[in-house]
Amino acid sequence: MRRATFCLFALVPAPLFAQVAPSTQDLDGIQVLGSAPSYSAPRASTATRTDAAVLDVSQSIQTVTAAMLDDQRVRTLDDAVSNVSGLMLAPSRAGTQDAFIRRGFGDSSTGSILRDGVRSMQNRNFSATTEQVEVLKGPASTLYGIQEPGGVINVISKQPLARRQTSLQLDTSDVGGGGGVIDHTGSIGESGFSYRTIASYDDTDYWRAFGTQRRSLLAPSLAWRNADTEVMLALEHGRYDTPFDDGTIFVDGKPLAIPRERPLTERYSKMEGQTDYANLRVRHRLSDAWTLRATYAFSRNQYDDVRVRADGYNADTGLLRRRFDGRRGVDDRSQYVVADALGHLGQGWLRHELLLGIDHESTRNHTDGELARVRVNGFDVWNPVYGAVPAPTAIDPETVNANAALTSTSLFVQDAISLGEHWIVSGAARYQQYKQREGVGTDYAITQDLDDHKVLPRLGVVYKLSGTVSLYANYATSFTPNLASDPTQGAFDPEEGVVHELGAKLDLGNRLTATAALYQTTKRNIVISLDDDTARAIGEARARGVELDVAGQLTDALRVVGAYAYTDAEITDDLGDTVGNTLPNVARHQASLSLFAKPTWQTGPLRWQFGAGVRYAGKRQGDEDNSFTLPSYVVADLSAGTRWAWGAHDASLDVGLRNVFDRDYYPFADGTSRVMIGEPRRLEARFKLAF
């Protein structure tokens, strides 16, 4: 592991401090490029695909604003949603993908992570291009098609700006290595065109004994705007190289008692790949009442991986059996086209916000072949010897040329009817026709061939007690076709969900927002992954819960974001003996609180700020059989930073300490042999310069 080099402290601040003369400038107005001044977001597009205020929407939605992302030095989507209630980490292919449990349900293959409102095929969706993150709770199938009942996470990208701006960001940590971001935007004369180019590179040592996490990104975008029309094209190309590490194993209900930095894998156990993303959007105001919109999006993830995993432990000898396998030529891609019309009709006591649309989506999953699975005994976990087993190279002929295709075409309609000043009644429906095809082999044997259709309704009502408080209720449905769990197995029946929800919202503008929700979700045909990469379906499960989210300004100098969730998720129908068991990786109690202070005092030209956060997750079951339990955990973070003016430029330096008390914790499990370990204490530094 490389030794950390905190060159930011040694090389960057000293000359800057030397050149900054004392100033009476109000540094509170200084804003690093891309940040936002508030923790509250009165409007969010994800819930309705319109410009409706959050207070008027009959669903729970939380926005992780640019200010939150900047203050907390967010690195991943995991970090971004850590203060949102009802979201927990799910098994994520050894931490190589974004995967979340939402209100008791979800995994890495649900397709419920969106990029700018479009289903994403990327393995990791948070990057230097991210402006903010919106989390919609409950079913979103009426607007976004095939989705989980727990909700969607929409990662919203930065857009070209008319005013020319450039920012530079440098990151490092005591783990070793670091990265940087360049973000440049501006207009092209008086043509109406504006552009933005974002480039980033990260090369950081993995915190365990060996491995490196590398990621690069180039993202140009172009926009043209006039009074009535906006056209925007955004492109991204990225490359990544990340360790494939399933963490540790649990023996007799407890983690294996070896140093947490000691991996059970090999140096070649990793995933290497590239991602591509394109989004073309057109928006035209046809009249004061109607706006026409169209989007085409393309998302792709190509990779190869080699996986070394625990596959059986002998407690008497201390020897571990490991499994060696992987994939070659994985190519996951999606294309999406949508056109809709948004109308604001009526006046006085009766008003309509009407949305009419049609969309078509096509997803393709291809694998050249699976590496032939090999099991090797004799790995001594107490005195490990790495490199004794070569990386697998042989392809299992039964897995060659595996393909899965899912296409769907839909019509959708949504109407939000305002009845006077207090009532808003909304309804939405989607008619979705879909085709599912799967096959495998040199001779390409069809394993799944299905054509079907589905009608998905949603009803909601909002009662506005005042201009700042509303009550809401909704009923919604969802469905998700299941792909095969491995190339030789046909798919299960589609998952179907029904949700009933009641809630209340508070919106004090840019000051404070809060949402409380009470819900029950019932879901059928739930696919559960097993340790050997196969799966089975359970008949039905139910999740009941209470959620509370708060974000905003407590005072002019103190920002807060907090959440609490009570989730009771259990299996209610199954062919096995698991009825009454808790769904895996779901904590009954979950809470978080982060405070960020900007005191009024300053040291010369330096304006200070401080942050503190704490996250709690209760006990969780490690599998659907409830055969072992992951312990509860509390993780605390601290940060301190300063802002100053460097001539005409804005500069900042932030230092953060994650997992302050260096707690051992286990965010999720995929059986006893795949238990992810949380990162230990980590010291980070980030420098930004905007000009």
Phi, psi of 411 (to 5 degrees): -115, 135
Amino acid at the residue 249: I
441-445, 586-590, 676-680: least confidently modelled range: 441-445
Spatial contact of 614 and 82, defined as CB atoms under 8 Å apart: no
In this prediction, residue 17 carries a pLDDT of 29
In this prediction, residue 44 carries a pLDDT of 79
Q: Where would I find the beta strands (DSSP E) of 481-588?
A: 495-507, 512-529, 535-555, 558-573
In this prediction, residue 33 carries a pLDDT of 37
Q: What radius of gyration do the chain's Cα atoms show?
A: 25
Quote the number of domains for the chain: 1
Spatial contact of 264 and 248, defined as CB atoms under 8 Å apart: yes
pLDDT above 50: residue 598 = yes
pTM of the predicted model, to two decimals?
0.91
Give dist(CA 63, CA 42) in Å, integer: 9
In this prediction, residue 38 carries a pLDDT of 83
Read off the CATH number of the domain in which 441 is found. Answer: 2.40.170.20
Q: For residue 113, what are the contacts with CB-CB under 8 A and spacing of at least 6?
A: 77, 98, 100, 119, 120, 125, 152, 153, 155
Residue 32 placed within a domain: yes
Is residue 8 very low, low, confident or very high in pLDDT (cuts 50, 70, 90)?
Answer: very low
The label of the residue with tokens 């890495």 reads 108
607 CB-side CA count, 13 A: 21
Residue 45 placed within a domain: yes
Assigned token pair, 326: 């992987």
Q: How far apart, in Å, are the Cα atoms of 321 and each of 169, 324, 673?
A: 44, 10, 11
pLDDT above 60: residue 226 = yes
Residue 682 placed within a domain: yes
Which domain does 362 fall in, by range? 7-690
In this prediction, residue 489 carries a pLDDT of 53
Spatial contact of 42 and 57, defined as CB atoms under 8 Å apart: no
Residue 654 placed within a domain: yes
pLDDT above 60: residue 158 = yes
pLDDT above 90: residue 81 = yes
Other Cβ atoms less than 10 A from the Cβ of 661: the count is 9
Q: Which residue has the higher pLDDT, 572 or 3?
A: 572
pLDDT above 90: residue 106 = no
pLDDT (mean) for 511-527: 91
Longest dimension (CA), the chain: 79
Residue 1 placed within a domain: no
Give dist(CA 242, CA 211) in Å, integer: 8
122-131, 486-495, 597-606, 649-658: least confidently modelled range: 486-495
275-284, 442-451, 539-548, 592-601: least confidently modelled range: 442-451
Average pLDDT of the chain to the nearest whole number:
89
41-45, 68-72, 646-650: least confidently modelled range: 41-45
